[in-house]
Chains A and B, each alone.
Chain A
Amino acid sequence: MNLDELYQEVILDHYKHPRGAGLREPYEGESHQVNPTCGDEITLRVHVDGDKVADVSYENVGCSISKASASVLYELVSGATVDDALARLAEFTELMNSKGQGEGDEETLEDAVAFAGVSKYPMRVKCALLGWMAFKDALVRAEAASTSGRTDA
């Protein structure tokens, strides 16, 4: 097994220096996700402003792959439009499910293409996706909150 392929410099850098970490206000949606096989956890908040993901904030415990993945997620979707963020989510999920076949588009996925190697390790794909699952869930909650807010108004 080629360790360098899995633990790319980019991944280790995000792991050691996570971007955007910590829970912040305001937020409309929050999600807590657990990986039951290893006990890794993430709490992630989404702040939506108009059609933009104004902020993604998170607190997590986990392995290098899951922590680096959350950091990369923050860089990719924070400040992006909701549509773009959902497109990145779809792209990253596809890359993780590619069983080592996908390379990822560096134009759109940026640092996240470093996770291509992870897709060869089925036991680690869940680690890489944990933060993204939390993002997806938090976004749904944020949208539900804003919809119900409008109904109430």
Chain B
Amino acid sequence: MEAVTKLDVEAVRADFPILKRMIGDRQLAYLDSAATSQKPVQVVDAMRRFTDHSNANISRSVHTLGAEATEAYEGARARVAAFIGAPSADEVVFTKNSTEAINLLAYAFQNAALDPHADPRLRLAPGDEIVVTEMEHHANLIPWQQLAQRTGAVLKWIGITDHGRLDLESVPDVITERTKLVSFTHVANLLGTVNPTSQITARAREVGALVGLDASQSVPHIPVDVAGLGVDFIAFTGHKMLGPTGIGVLWAKADLLDAMPPFLTGGSMIKTVTMEKTTFADAPAKFEAGTPPIAEAVGLAAAVDYLDALGMENVRAHEKELAGYMLERLETVDGLAVIGPRVPIGRSATVSFTLEGVHPHDVGQVLDSEAVAVRVGHHCAKPTCDRFGVNATTRASAYVYNTHEEIDRLVDALGKVRKVFT
């Protein structure tokens, strides 16, 4: 039986005022949600309500607003925890974005390397190994590159097959007894590949390595259950899942957070302070120095409510349908080559492609003249580009509010690109 999408796309679209935006004389077709998603009125309203009604700093004041703000912020934490199946809200650390979440973790390792009493799981010695994949966003590559350089650890990676999948056959060779950490992308931001996780997590467990996911492109689009995935940590960001910019999440198991030294230090992350010495608060406060993004947390909780109301299984089904349609239609364009899996199985509705003889910048410019918004460039994944021998790609990415008609407009506009450049 065909999977029936239960998403009422027209009703969804009505919640996103920006989708009515005209670019020139055409209505916007927004196909760049992998870069950032649009926000429904529910998110903006929740943030405005908080700002107009309850704004105060958290965990400090006894006044009514202070209590309401603290409740809103901690309520958002609980809401996010439930959304990803985390056993405890205290395992959710709010950060600025995924990049900061991953850096928080990388710096915990770096700081632990300097502390002989640190948890042995976090202590990297020269020759120890950190494993990523060749399809990482730079956010899940450069922090580990830096950590390896500073500790003498060795950075290794799982390669990509010609079909845009992880080379899982190499996993037993890449992840070894010397591996202390495996961090890999759940859904690749350039290729659109949805990576199967069990083989990698099982191998990581076998060798006693910590293992986690860059979930920036998965949490917004497919059901993610951290307990079911059996990982130690995930990182994701609010603005790709209908929420505001300025807030991201590091989820990690309680015992790992307990073992991790803090990244940023300062206000609100302490138990006691003297001029000589500080005792740190328990997680998550230990990792949230300074005034956090409070209104943004409220907005993220509203985004999670919105996604939950749609149902993540419905979101997945809708995007699978769009991915299939996009791949099928794009294949009809002369000179177009998809970079990444060419079948809508184990892939997201993010499709990168090249158009023979036309640079992606020029493709994007002509598409913009038809009010079709896509991303062009290397998508912060230069090694992936290198793997496929391209400098840049054009990337169309769909989300809950996109329609078949918008994909038709993309394909028609690609025809116009051909006309301008041949």
A: which residues have CB within 8 A of B? 1, 3, 6-7, 12, 37-41, 61-65, 67, 121, 124, 127
Contact present for B369 and A40 (CB under 8 Å): no
Q: A1-B24, A40-B359 are in contact. List 18 more A-B contacts (CB 8 A).
A: A1-B23, A3-B366, A3-B369, A3-B420, A37-B377, A38-B376, A38-B377, A38-B378, A39-B392, A40-B392, A41-B391, A61-B391, A62-B391, A63-B359, A64-B361, A67-B359, A124-B365, A127-B361
For B361, list chain A residues within 8 Å (CB): 38, 40, 62-65, 124, 127
List which B361-383 residues lie within 8 A (CB) of chain A: 361-362, 365-366, 368-369, 376-378, 382
Interface residues on B, range: 20 to 34
What CA separation (Å) do A12 and B359 show in the bound complex? 12
A39 touches B377 (CB 8 A): yes
Known: A38-B378, A63-B360. A6 touches B391 (CB 8 A): no
Contact A39–B365 (Cβ < 8 Å): no
Q: Judge if B385 is at the interface, Cβ distance under 8 Å.
A: yes
Which chain B residue lies CB-closest to A64?
B362
Chain A residues with CB under 8 A of B377: 37-39
Asked if residues A1 and B369 are in contact (CB atoms below 8 Å), the reply is: yes
In contact, A39 and B385 (Cβ under 8 angstroms):
yes
> Is B421 within 8 A of A64, CB to CB?
yes
Contact A62 B359 (CB under 8 A): yes
Shortest B23–chain A CB gap in Å is 8
Question: Are A39 and B420 in contact (CB-based, < 8 A)?
Answer: no
* Distance A3 CA – B371 CA, assembled complex (angstroms): 12
Partner of A7, one of B359, B376, B378, B420: B420
**CA of A1 to CA of B25 in the docked complex: distance in angstroms?**
9
Given known A-B contacts A39-B377, A65-B361, A1 and B368 have beta carbons under 8 A apart: yes
Minimum C-beta distance from A33 to chain B (A): 14
- Tell me the bound Cα distance from A62 to B385 in angstroms: 14
- CB-defined contacts of B362 to chain A, threshold 8 Å: 7, 63-65
Give the Cβ gap from B16 to chain A, nearest Cβ, in Å. Answer: 23
- When C-beta atoms are compared, the residue in chain A nearest to B385 turns out to be A39
Question: Taking the nearest CB of chain B, how far is it from the CB of A103, in angstroms?
Answer: 21
Closest chain A CB from B131 CB (angstroms): 26
A61–B357 alpha-carbon span in the complex (Å): 12
Contacts A124-B361, A127-B361 known; A38 to B421 CB distance under 8 Å? Answer: no
Decide: A6 and B365 in contact? CB cutoff 8 A: yes
Contact B369–A38 (Cβ < 8 Å): no
Nearest CB in chain A to that of B357: its residue: A16
- Docked complex Cα distance between A1 and B364 (Å): 13
The residues of B that contact A65 with a CB separation of less than 8 Å are 361-362
Q: How far is the CA of A95 from the CA of B366 in the complex (A)?
A: 23
Nearest CB of chain B from residue A129's CB, rounded to whole Å: 14
Which B249-298 residues have a C-beta within 8 angstroms of A? none
Q: State how many angstroms separate the Cβ of B26 from the closest Cβ of chain A.
A: 10
**Candidate in A1, A6, A62 with the most chain B CB atoms within 10 angstroms:** A1
- Chain B residues 328-376 with CB under 8 Å of chain A are 358-362, 365-366, 368-369, 376
Cβ-neighbour of A40 out of B365, B368, B391 (below 8 A)? B391
Identify B360's interface contact among A1, A12, A38, CB under 8 A: A38
User: Contacts of A62 on B, CB cut-off 8 Å?
Assistant: 359, 361, 391
9 pairs of residues in contact across A and B, judged by CB atoms under 8 Å: A3-B369, A38-B392, A40-B392, A62-B359, A63-B360, A64-B358, A64-B361, A65-B362, A67-B359
Whole-angstrom CA separation of A12 from B376 in the bound complex: 20
Q: Which 4 A-B pairs have the closest CB atoms?
A: A63-B361, A63-B359, A38-B377, A39-B378
Least CB distance, A43 to chain B, in whole angstroms = 14
A39 and B366 within 8 A (CB): no
Specify which chain B residues have a CB less than 8 angstroms from the CB of A121 in the assembled complex: 365
Q: In this complex, what residue of B is CB-closest to A37? A: B377
The answer to whether B369 touches A39 (Cβ under 8 A) is no
**Best-buried of A40, A67, A124 by chain B (most CB within 10 Å):** A40
Q: Which residues of A contact B420 (CB under 8 A)?
A: 3, 7, 12
